Structure 1
Amino acid sequence: MTDERSSMPSDEQRSHSAAPNNGNPDDANPNEEPTNETDRTDSETTDTEGRTDADDEFTIADFHDASQQAGRPVLTAAAVARALEIPHEEASDRLETLADAGSIERLSVSTDPVVWYPSELEDLTDRERVIVFPKRREIVVDRPDQFTRAQLSQFAHLADANGEQGYRYVVRPADVWGTPHDSFDDLAQTMRQALGQRSADLEDWVESQWDRAHQFRLVTHEEGYTVLEAQSPEIMGNVARQKLDEEHVHAPISDTQDWVREGSEAAIKRILYEAGYPVQDHRELASGEALSIDLQVRLRDYQQTWVDRFGEAGEGVFVGPPGSGKTIAAMGAMARVEGETLVLVPSRDLAQQWADAILEYTTLEPEQVGQYHGGRKEVRPVTIATYQIAGMDRHRSLFDDREWGLVVFDECQHVPSDVYRRSTHLQSKHRLGLSASPIREDDRQTEIFTLVGPPIGTDWEALFDAGFVAEPELEIRYVPWGDEEQGNAYGSADGREKYRIAAKNRGKIDEVRYLLSAHPDSKALVFVDYLEQGRDLSDALDVPFVSGETPHHDRRRLLEEFRRDERDLLIISRVGDEGIDLPTADLAIIASGLGGSRRQGTQRAGRTMRPAGGALVYVLATRGTREEDFARKQLQHLGRKGLTVREQTVEGEEH
């Protein structure tokens, strides 16, 4: 939202405000009653919520609300009457009272209406303001404080964050389904605290979604098997029994209960979620063997909030930018559960990092922590395994035979992939996901919350403001062709080949060399999507190239040297997008990237998001090609989270 700032109205403004009536109801004679007003007594009128105006004190805040609705700080009594839905005469009386108190000023021209404006117009621009659009289920907030943002995060999704333009929240069904409240009344109270008002239309819609989220639940029968229960025979017959078949349930038990086939619980939850009916999971799942574990590091306040919300729900996904400490918070959840834990990760490298971190930050001993992947086969009280291994039939029994108190899905945006989804049969008592950006280009991200749990997190802007995570500077640089031959090849190519040629533009080698020389003291990562491009950069810069072809022991050695400041530059392929923690990187150069994947943009930029600050991210795009649009798309998602994105055209003579 833009602010309408002004000091005391100028003569020109006053003349305009006092212009003759041209049919605008705001310019009506203040002594005339608006024709659309119904007859009401002067002493008492009743608004749409049953309150009496006589019982309500009219304050400067009410004037600000009317100003906000009218879109200007100078109002007539008619505008106030319309905004507050009160008679014109009563609006005039209230304005007079505020003027006598010194809160507003009046300006009267003999033949024209009186106009009113705040004594201190800055009051209008400095205060927190909330505007609700019930039909669109959107909430726009200007200058929200931390309390408001914390309340909004419990039932709404932060879609856009821009300090100058305000914050735009969207209330989606999934946000209501995953709210941490025990009753709709509790949720409604949170909404009113966040909005500063009651939005009847929005609350009605939220209540309808709340009801949908409580139509089905999975429970454990006294004889040990699982039962799907519905709130009514109608919802069971019209939804569950239409969507599910013998693959999911054995037979009906009653009009509202079905006997669930063992192992089909995750599929049932996914199918009904997709039908718009999330399932409450109230099964008496095994907690596994007890495991005493304590953290040896203090959680930040927001991390503790994540853990507390997870503890209440027993499931969820920690969502926060890279560097916000999701792994540490997950260890806090492990300490809360105090049960044997299985951690699923996308790569062997990340498995090692998890094992090292658990030993560093918890009281667990080395013999209690194992890894299970292509290089090692250890099943221990805390086991870190790769998704691929956990989803393979020949290994599945090893994990099934042990009752896990907690299963952690790291980088859980992988979960909807068919190969990874097989790991979700591990339906432990507690399930926790971790993700910086739980979005997918195939739009299957809702399955993450179905198979793992609802999102739990703090908006990125709040962490930037608090200084827990530093906001990097992002810049797209449009680079000219390095030679005429490549440019001609691009012009005659088709489809995907065009993108490949633009991505491998040899002019980017000179640009990378220029950027590195411009930041000589930075620790830098150069990301590429094509092995040939990585090898060319490696040869040109005489720098190691880390890719999927790099042996694990060499990859681990190079990354460790980078962490220990023994190296200040590495070239990384897609293996660096996820599962590699590079906490001291302060410069990232994205030389090419997967056609604008939002998740990849988040992960790569996130390699510089650490508390130290001063980080820079450059995205290189070949000028005049489809790469320009891809680069914008890749960073658009980050721009909506509050990061500033600049654009720069590189001229040939610049270097």
Structure 2
Amino acid sequence: MTDERSSAASDEQRSDVHDPAGDATADASAKSDENEAGEAFTIADFHDASQQAGRPVLTAAAVSRALELPHEEASDRLETLAESGSLERLSVSTDPVVWYPSELEDLTDRERVVVFPKRREIIVDRPDQFTRAQLSQFAHLADANGEDGYRYVVRPEDVWSTPHDSFEDLARTMRQALGQRSEPLEEWVESQWDRAHQFRLVTHEEGYTVLEAQTPEIMGNVARQKLDEEHVHAPISETEDWVREGSEAAIKRILYEAGYPVQDHRELASGEELSIDLNVRLRDYQQNWVDRFAEAGEGVFVGPPGSGKTVAAMGAMAHVEGETLVLVPSRDLAQQWADAMVEYTSLEPHQIGQYHGGRKEVRPVTIATYQIAGMDRHRSLFDDREWGLVIFDECQHVPSDVYRRSTHLQSKHRLGLSASPIREDDRQTEIFTLVGPPIGTDWEALFEAGFVAEPELEIRYVPWGDDEQANAYGSADGREKYRIAAKNRGKIDEVRYLLSAHPDAKAIVFVDYLEQGRELSDALEVPFLSGETPHHERRRLLEEFRRDERDLLIISRVGDEGIDLPTADLAIVASGLGGSRRQGTQRAGRTMRPAGGALVYVLATRGTREEDFARKQLQHLGRKGMTIREQTVERDAE
């Protein structure tokens, strides 16, 4: 069991005060007399008190009243029983210590917390939303559906990005979440807290940037060992270095990788003021994201598709009230951002510009593609304007060599958005050094609260459609094996079967290969939307799907991130599991909306490497709280 700070604990405290069982009964008096005569206090005595109180968890005060013992004596006897293993104790932050029988551990449905300080792991059985919210402020949810309960890991970066003003505030949150004080864990967390406050970037009174260290030792032994003339001009003092213009992001990244995140306190220009009001009320967790962003001045909103990251970003815009640059992966997303801003904010269409291959407009709010913003011939247009806020949509792209050039743009505030900030090249830490620390709510909490519907996800292992492909697979090598398995023609029959099993569903079929998409398009007589589809045709097809004028689309990789797909009831992933874990998140996420009842089927050719890809690439979704089933298709191909 863990800290009972919930209303249940408060109710228990009130019932202790007004409990009619506090009036001594004849049986209780007799029991008290026996105890005063020197007879040992046993678990049976505790059960008697528990029966009178009508609950299995008691404070020492409740035992004292029920058995007519002095409070101090009741506490001593409870301690003795605890030492013998018959009772367990729990310190509650808003209540006295409570006691319960040890065997209750195996019977209770209440949450329980176990801390492993050396591994910096926290195992929680049946955590409530309050506990998860507290844990998310200093720990990472590593596994959400294992037999051993929810597994949290406290990593350095979790402590570095905690939204607390002091270590004392952070320690208080930890004790509330854990229901206890773990001194070894707190000592390690405090050491990481100190690391996160050793360096900071500030603006000198003459306008240039200075790197400051807490002590001469930390400056000499860390910063001046890691940085060179590419990053700093010269020392100003024992604890200050003059920073070369444009090297701020590199300094932050280098020191972050050395284990010392830099606090950015530069007085950056906020741009022209721009009044922005929201036309929609933020959900509680979205408001929490915005509040944490407002406190830090930067960050990355991390949440599942459908959790409203775009709307929350507009909440951040309303907070900053400055000219804003939004960077997106494609022109389709640029148009969708523009439409959403008109719908959800007080901005007028003439205040919103788009800058990409199709349009060239720089306005108080400008939406540009990463590629354009990183080109030398266009960058001056963005560099010359003082942005109050730069938003990096799908910011998992930022560490790539092409996209990261856009992070050199200076602004007072930076905000990233990502459903899954995972990179197969393990450069995801760069996302948080180039943009800001992660800010989010664990997926399971959003599933339980009903804000996002948890889709049912099933991996279906499909037999070969014909012997020709099966034989080709057997003689192929390396990547070619995966390609043949992914394009298994037996999947066409399986897609037909799944669509017929859900005749009323709006469905999206994902493919990785153009040839496979065309084959499915011909077989099902439905459009295939790919990178070759003209932009106006894409918009028409997607709008027809949104308006329920069309209930089935086949989509290539262009649907993973480049466009905002409409909500679907059914998603069938016919191929694509050889891609990234992020791709699995995006495709499964196309059904994550509040409506509920969504289904995701992932097809993998039975007995091939595609089976392993399917399990591996979707494993992290299971750790986020999604339930994943597996089914072998026995039906023979016709």
Normalising to structure 2: TM-score of the pair? 0.85
Distance in 2 separating the partners of 1:62 and 1:270:
51
Distance in 2 separating the partners of 1:365 and 1:309:
28
1:313/1:61 Cα in 2 relative to 1: closer, same or farther (>3 Å)?
Answer: farther
Instruction: Say if 1:597 and 1:633, in contact at 8 Å, map to a contact too.
Output: no
TM-superposed deviation, 1:163: 8.1
Q: Are 2:460 and 1:477 equivalent residues in the alignment?
A: yes
TM-superposed deviation, 1:559: 1.1
1:70 paired residue number: none
Instruction: Say if 2:577 and 2:610, in contact at 8 Å, map to a contact too.
Output: no
1:491/1:653 Cα in 2 relative to 1: closer, same or farther (>3 Å)?
Answer: closer
Percent of aligned pairs with the same amino acid: 89
In structure 2, which of residues 201, 206, 225 is the aligned counterpart of residue 218 of structure 1? 201
283-292 or 424-433, which moves further after superposition?
424-433
1:261/1:95 Cα in 2 relative to 1: closer, same or farther (>3 Å)?
Answer: closer
Distance in 1 separating the partners of 2:183 and 2:396:
35
TM-superposed deviation, 1:594: 4.4
1:93/1:361 Cα in 2 relative to 1: closer, same or farther (>3 Å)?
Answer: closer
User: Is the partner of 2:221 in helix, strand or coil?
Assistant: helix
Instruction: Say if 1:230 and 1:256, in contact at 8 Å, map to a contact too.
Output: yes
Q: After the TM superposition, which residues 488-567 of structure 1 pair with which residues of structure 2 at under 5 Å, given as runs?
A: 488-567=471-550
User: Is the partner of 2:152 in helix, strand or coil?
Assistant: strand
User: Is the partner of 1:423 in helix, strand or coil?
Assistant: helix
Superposed CA deviations along residues 124-162 of structure 1, whole A, max 9, x for unmatched, are 522221100111111111121221111111000111112
Q: After the TM superposition, which residues 450-461 of structure 1 pair with which residues of structure 2 at under 5 Å, given as runs?
A: 450-461=433-444
2:17 paired residue number: none
1:90/1:561 Cα in 2 relative to 1: closer, same or farther (>3 Å)?
Answer: closer
Runs of 4+ in 1 over 3 A off after TM superposition: 59-63, 86-98, 121-124
Distance in 1 separating the partners of 2:59 and 2:467:
65
Q: CA RMSD in A?
A: 2.4
User: Is the partner of 1:617 in helix, strand or coil?
Assistant: strand
In structure 2, which of residues 338, 343, 346 is the aligned counterpart of residue 355 of structure 1? 338
1:394 paired residue number: 377
1:93/1:149 Cα in 2 relative to 1: closer, same or farther (>3 Å)?
Answer: closer
Distance in 1 separating the partners of 2:603 and 2:284:
37
User: Is the partner of 1:126 in helix, strand or coil?
Assistant: coil
1:247/1:125 Cα in 2 relative to 1: closer, same or farther (>3 Å)?
Answer: same
TM-superposed deviation, 1:427: 2.8
1:241/1:321 Cα in 2 relative to 1: closer, same or farther (>3 Å)?
Answer: same
Distance in 1 separating the partners of 2:102 and 2:284:
42
Distance in 2 separating the partners of 1:61 and 1:418:
61
Distance in 1 separating the partners of 2:545 and 2:497:
21
TM-superposed deviation, 1:62: 9.8
TM-superposed deviation, 1:167: 1.2
Q: Flag structure 1 segments of 5+ consecutive residues without an equivalent.
A: 2-58, 64-83, 106-115
Q: After the TM superposition, which residues 169-188 of structure 1 pair with which residues of structure 2 at under 5 Å, given as runs?
A: 169-188=152-171
User: Is the partner of 1:405 in helix, strand or coil?
Assistant: strand
1:336 paired residue number: 319
2:575 paired residue number: 592
1:146 paired residue number: 129
User: Is the partner of 1:229 in helix, strand or coil?
Assistant: strand
Q: After the TM superposition, which residues 56-67 of structure 1 pair with which residues of structure 2 at under 5 Å, given as runs?
A: 60=57
Distance in 2 separating the partners of 1:95 and 1:591:
55
2:145 paired residue number: 162
552-561 or 281-290, which moves further after superposition?
552-561
User: Is the partner of 1:125 in helix, strand or coil?
Assistant: coil
2:210 paired residue number: 227
Q: Which amino acid aligns with 1:338?
A: E
TM-superposed deviation, 1:256: 1.2
Q: After the TM superposition, which residues 169-318 of structure 1 pair with which residues of structure 2 at under 5 Å, given as runs?
A: 169-318=152-301
Q: After the TM superposition, which residues 118-133 of structure 1 pair with which residues of structure 2 at under 5 Å, given as runs?
A: 121=104, 124-133=107-116
User: Is the partner of 1:652 in helix, strand or coil?
Assistant: coil
Instruction: Say if 1:482 and 1:505, in contact at 8 Å, map to a contact too.
Output: yes
Q: Which amino acid aligns with 1:424?
A: T
Distance in 2 separating the partners of 1:188 and 1:448:
27
In structure 2, which of residues 79, 83, 96 is the aligned counterpart of residue 91 of structure 1? 83
Distance in 1 separating the partners of 2:89 and 2:112:
24
User: Is the partner of 2:334 in helix, strand or coil?
Assistant: helix
Distance in 2 separating the partners of 1:361 and 1:232:
48
Q: Which amino acid aligns with 2:604?
A: A
Superposed CA deviations along residues 575-596 of structure 1, whole A, max 9, x for unmatched, are 1001322342110000111415
TM-superposed deviation, 1:88: 6.6
Q: Flag structure 2 segments of 5+ consecutive residues without an equivalent.
A: 2-55, 61-75, 91-97
1:550/1:93 Cα in 2 relative to 1: closer, same or farther (>3 Å)?
Answer: closer
Instruction: Say if 1:157 and 1:175, in contact at 8 Å, map to a contact too.
Output: yes
Instruction: Say if 1:344 and 1:384, in contact at 8 Å, map to a contact too.
Output: yes
Distance in 1 separating the partners of 2:440 and 2:147:
23
2:30 paired residue number: none
Q: Are 2:440 and 1:448 equivalent residues in the alignment?
A: no
Instruction: Say if 1:581 and 1:607, in contact at 8 Å, map to a contact too.
Output: no
Distance in 1 separating the partners of 2:99 and 2:290:
47
Instruction: Say if 1:250 and 1:261, in contact at 8 Å, map to a contact too.
Output: yes
Q: Are 2:422 and 1:439 equivalent residues in the alignment?
A: yes
Distance in 2 separating the partners of 1:555 and 1:248:
45
Q: After the TM superposition, which residues 564-579 of structure 1 pair with which residues of structure 2 at under 5 Å, given as runs?
A: 564-579=547-562
Instruction: Say if 2:231 and 2:250, in contact at 8 Å, map to a contact too.
Output: yes
Normalising to structure 1: TM-score of the pair? 0.82
2:405 paired residue number: 422
Distance in 1 separating the partners of 2:281 and 2:195:
39
Superposed CA deviations along residues 447-499 of structure 1, whole A, max 9, x for unmatched, are 11111111111111111111111000000000111110111111111100000
2:620 paired residue number: 637
1:88/1:567 Cα in 2 relative to 1: closer, same or farther (>3 Å)?
Answer: same
TM-superposed deviation, 1:246: 1.3
2:351 paired residue number: 368
Aligned residues: 561
Distance in 1 separating the partners of 2:438 and 2:377:
32
TM-superposed deviation, 1:123: 8.3
